Chain A
Amino acid sequence: MNDEFSFNLWRYDGTPGELIPLLQSAQNHFGYIPRRAINYVSAVTGIPESEVYGVITFYSQFRLQPMGKYVVRACNGTACHVSGAEMIIETVQDELGVEVGGTTEDGLFTLNTVACIGCCSLAPVIMINEDTHGSLTPASVRKIIRRYRRNERASNKKMAAGR
């Protein structure tokens, strides 16, 4: 009972409307919603697994697959769109070698698009985990992603050397 998800399952008292918060805490805990989390939620709430699955697939926030270490969220809001977001998204796809929704083979990056981050005056914008990068061009977005890759390699080396 030392994580939020287990705690919320334990605390569940039949209050209606708790399904989505439970799924949100499952995703916070696992990084996605694994099969066994659906089993737990269904068993505790009495909501059929099929219905739980239906709710998961309805909302874009929920994922049934694990995500990469860095989640790249490319903004495709209206303001970004008119400032060339499509070209930025294509560049990121090309740089990572995955389509939107995919995760790189090394498990480092997942690429998603979002409807609007709300930084419209910095368009076009991407978010990598919690950091926002704005006023992008195809060249600058490539540089940013390569920087993440380089830092990752450097910290791996350091860790290996530390051992």
Chain B
Amino acid sequence: MKKIIVGMATCGLSAGAKETYDKLEEIRLDNKESFELLQTGCMGMCYLEPMVEVRESENRILYSKVTPQLAGKIFREHILNGRAIEENIACTIASDGTVSGPEAEFLKLQNRIVLRNCGFIDPESIEEYKTVNGYRAITKALFEMKPDGIIEEIKDSGLRGRGGAGFPTGLKWSFAAGSKGDVKYVVCNADEGDPGAFMDRSVLEGDPHSVLEGMIICGRAIGASSGFIYCRAEYPLAIHRLNIAIESAREKGYLGKNILDSGFNFDVEIKQGAGAFVCGEETALFASIEGQRGMPRIRPPFPAQKGLWQRPTNNNNVETYANIPWIILNGSAEYARYGTEKSRGTKVFALAGRVRRGGLAEVEMGTTIGDLVLKIGGGIKDGGKFKAVQMGGPSGGCIPADLSDTPVDFESIPATGAIMGSGGMVVLDESTCMVEMAKFFLHFTQEESCGKCTFCRIGTLRLLETLTRITNGEGKEEDIEKLELWGKKIKESSLCGLGQTAPNPVLTTIKYYRDEYQAHINEKRCPAGSCNPLVDFYIDSEKCTGCTLCAKNCPVDAIRGNPKEKHVIDNSICVKCGKCITSCQFGAIYKS
């Protein structure tokens, strides 16, 4: 029997997957259940959502942008008559894994280890997880391996923490394992706070069991019997599916007391975050689980000695744990085949911004930025020109298009001044002003600074004020030097990762785009034509209908024109507030 599978992660649902699913369910019931209807997580091609797959034995055909109407057509043509609807196919995946079709390029360069099950299995069914080798790794770890052996295997694989810092996972585990104590904890950091990053959300929504299995294996390796998943409250669907996964894992005996009669106890609890970016820092995260303000603590003692509730704790992020079952099952040598000498394996990136194909891509470490943006991402949308990528969110930096042959790994990216980060990759085109971009991130970190360290608390505010002045056309000659000096001081004098990296967006944009800063300061000009106070506003006479709305909204009467006639902006009066742009119903006003 053919299966119809609907992608039902947050990205799909917000594009209308629920309506499509409901329509298909209606058809299925009306037609004596002539096909099986299933749901799955994110297929990674967020730009084509809602996506629907028709699976017959091992052949998979993926349809893009499936409205309820198109769903009906798929049923009539493909299910009943066996004729695929060529013009709506995104790609076809044959039983041997070969991909073809118009969007095949997106998948071809990928190597899916973390996302192995995302978009393939039903995340709410433990049975489906078991059909793809699910919970076989924990059986192997419990009955065929000793805790030391597990840690050695992870060490040999070369896996490094995927949360951003890239600390070797096996080494981290060995510290926690070596700490004395009868109570230890395994913590999973699912507080994915970087704006522009959604890898962990997709893994939790698409394959929650693999994260749980990774945590259980970690518990076995370090001798812990309880675990916590600290998940953002902004991810209600991820929490919902984790809860289902935990419940069913308990029922089947993979969680709880005496797992699979091995004598090993391990259970997991979800803690919901309450909205604080700094809680992505592990010591702040522990404080938050303990019910306090999420403020970082001084290290040492390190979490491996005194972490959560002063007990030895191992903390990794979602993507790191999702790698673990695969490594245990396939062996460290197999894993180490992927990637570069010092950065083994794969990394999931969230492609977003001005890129044509936005979504999730998992590539081998060492793939170049250019391959990610231009080949997998398909280049810039709306015919724009590739300017830079922003990596690592507010703690990261901008890497210009000139450096697009930089490989993504834990050595090459930091060498540019950016950081690997958790995997957010926001693509920028020529319409993005780099000074404004830096201001945007400083605004974020300044608000999210917990206030403990003076340099972070006050320093980020000073950086923000200076950047605001520059984008308002009030910059001074000495501003660039001051930004660099303060940036350096904040990095040196902050306790946690937030402050140590907060100046990165400023420092990297100064490094690569000093001329843009100078244009703002010396010529009072925004080269990207983006900063309102430094540009002129015009009305496109082709699009203007003479509705007078902009003139009515203008606070200084800078817009002239009679009703039903073309309007004109007098830039000598205009105060650049932008109210005309937001009031125009026809998109007729532009800046230049």
Binding partners A and B: yes
**Footprint of B on A, CB under 8 Å?**
16-21, 23-24, 54-55, 58-62, 76-79, 81-83, 87, 90-91, 94, 114-123, 125, 132, 134, 137-139, 142
Assembly CA distance A118 to B423 (angstroms): 13
- CB pair B195–A115 under 8 Å, yes or no, is yes
Q: Does B168 contact A (CB under 8 A)?
A: no
- CB pair B426–A82 under 8 Å, yes or no, is yes
- CB pair B274–A62 under 8 Å, yes or no, is yes
Give min CB distance, B532 to chain A, whole Å. 9
Q: Which positions 458-484 of chain B face chain A at CB distance < 8 Å?
A: none
Could you say which residues of chain A place their CB within 8 Å of the CB of B15?
A: 122, 134
Could you say which residues of chain A place their CB within 8 Å of the CB of B393?
A: 78
Could you say which residues of chain A place their CB within 8 Å of the CB of B275?
A: 59-61
Q: Does B292 contact A (CB under 8 A)?
A: yes
Pairs A-B, 4 closest by C-beta atoms: A121-B358, A120-B352, A77-B195, A132-B14
Could you say which residues of chain B place their CB within 8 Å of the CB of A16?
A: 290-291, 309
Q: Closest residue to A92 on the B side, CB-wise? A: B582
Query: Can you list 25 A-B pairs with a CB-CB distance of less than 8 A?
Result: A17-B290, A19-B292, A20-B274, A58-B276, A58-B450, A59-B274, A78-B352, A78-B424, A79-B353, A82-B432, A87-B581, A90-B578, A90-B579, A91-B582, A116-B194, A117-B234, A120-B46, A121-B49, A121-B352, A121-B359, A122-B11, A132-B14, A134-B14, A138-B581, A139-B586
Q: Does B350 contact A (CB under 8 A)?
A: yes
Q: Closest residue to A131 on the B side, CB-wise? A: B14
Q: Which positions 227-285 of chain B face chain A at CB distance < 8 Å?
A: 233-235, 271-277
Selected from A59, A77, A134, the residue in CB contact (under 8 A) with B276 is A59
Interface residue tally of chain B, by bracket? Answer: 35 or more
Total A-B pairs, Cβ < 8 A: 144
Give min CB distance, A106 to chain B, whole Å. 22
- CB pair A24–B272 under 8 Å, yes or no, is yes
Q: A78-B196, A79-B358, A115-B444 are in contact. List 9 more A-B contacts (CB 8 A).
A: A19-B292, A21-B271, A78-B353, A78-B390, A78-B440, A82-B437, A91-B583, A117-B10, A139-B585
Known interface pairs A78-B393, A121-B359; A24-B353 also in contact (CB < 8 Å): no
- CB pair A55–B444 under 8 Å, yes or no, is no
Assembly CA distance A74 to B271 (angstroms): 25
Known interface pairs A24-B274, A59-B294; A79-B196 also in contact (CB < 8 Å): yes
Q: Does B288 contact A (CB under 8 A)?
A: yes
Selected from A54, A76, A118, the residue in CB contact (under 8 A) with B198 is A118
- CB pair B350–A120 under 8 Å, yes or no, is yes
Q: Which positions 405-451 of chain B face chain A at CB distance < 8 Å?
A: 424, 426, 428, 432, 437, 440-441, 444, 450
Q: Does B220 contact A (CB under 8 A)?
A: no
Q: Which positions 99-144 of chain B face chain A at CB distance < 8 Å?
A: none
Assembly CA distance A54 to B450 (angstroms): 12
Assembly CA distance A55 to B287 (angstroms): 11
Could you say which residues of chain A place their CB within 8 Å of the CB of B235?
A: 118
Q: Closest residue to B235 on the A side, CB-wise? A: A118
- CB pair B233–A24 under 8 Å, yes or no, is yes
Q: Does B180 contact A (CB under 8 A)?
A: no
- CB pair A123–B352 under 8 Å, yes or no, is yes
Assembly CA distance A118 to B11 (angstroms): 7
Give min CB distance, A23 to chain B, whole Å. 8
Select the residue from B292, B350, B586 with max chain A CB neighbours within 10 A. B292
Could you say which residues of chain B place their CB within 8 Å of the CB of A18?
A: 291
Assembly CA distance A23 to B583 (angstroms): 40
Q: Does B162 contact A (CB under 8 A)?
A: no
Assembly CA distance A119 to B235 (angstroms): 12
- CB pair B46–A121 under 8 Å, yes or no, is yes
Known interface pairs A58-B294, A117-B234; A138-B274 also in contact (CB < 8 Å): no
Give min CB distance, B401 to chain A, whole Å. 15
Q: Does B89 contact A (CB under 8 A)?
A: no
Give min CB distance, A26 to chain B, whole Å. 12
Chain B 173-207: CB-based contact to A (< 8 A → 1; otherwise 0): 00000000000000000000111111001000000
Known interface pairs A17-B291, A55-B291, A82-B426; A120-B358 also in contact (CB < 8 Å): yes
Q: Does B322 contact A (CB under 8 A)?
A: no
- CB pair B578–A87 under 8 Å, yes or no, is yes
Could you say which residues of chain A place their CB within 8 Å of the CB of B292?
A: 19, 55
Chain B 386-397: CB-based contact to A (< 8 A → 1; otherwise 0): 000010010000
Give min CB distance, A107 to chain B, whole Å. 23
- CB pair B196–A119 under 8 Å, yes or no, is no
Q: Closest residue to A81 on the B side, CB-wise? A: B440
- CB pair A94–B579 under 8 Å, yes or no, is yes
Could you say which residues of chain A place their CB within 8 Å of the CB of B354?
A: 82-83
Select the residue from A82, A118, A123, A132 with max chain B CB neighbours within 10 A. A118
Q: Does B73 contact A (CB under 8 A)?
A: no
Give min CB distance, A46 to chain B, whole Å. 12
Give min CB distance, A12 to chain B, whole Å. 12
Q: Closest residue to A88 on the B side, CB-wise? A: B582
Assembly CA distance A123 to B271 (angstroms): 29
- CB pair B198–A120 under 8 Å, yes or no, is yes
Known interface pairs A17-B290, A79-B352, A87-B578; A119-B272 also in contact (CB < 8 Å): no
- CB pair A116–B582 under 8 Å, yes or no, is no
Q: Does B47 contact A (CB under 8 A)?
A: yes
Assembly CA distance A100 to B364 (angstroms): 42
- CB pair B277–A115 under 8 Å, yes or no, is yes
Could you say which residues of chain B place their CB within 8 Å of the CB of A142?
A: 585
Q: Does B329 contact A (CB under 8 A)?
A: no
Selected from B582, B585, B586, the residue in CB contact (under 8 A) with A90 is B582
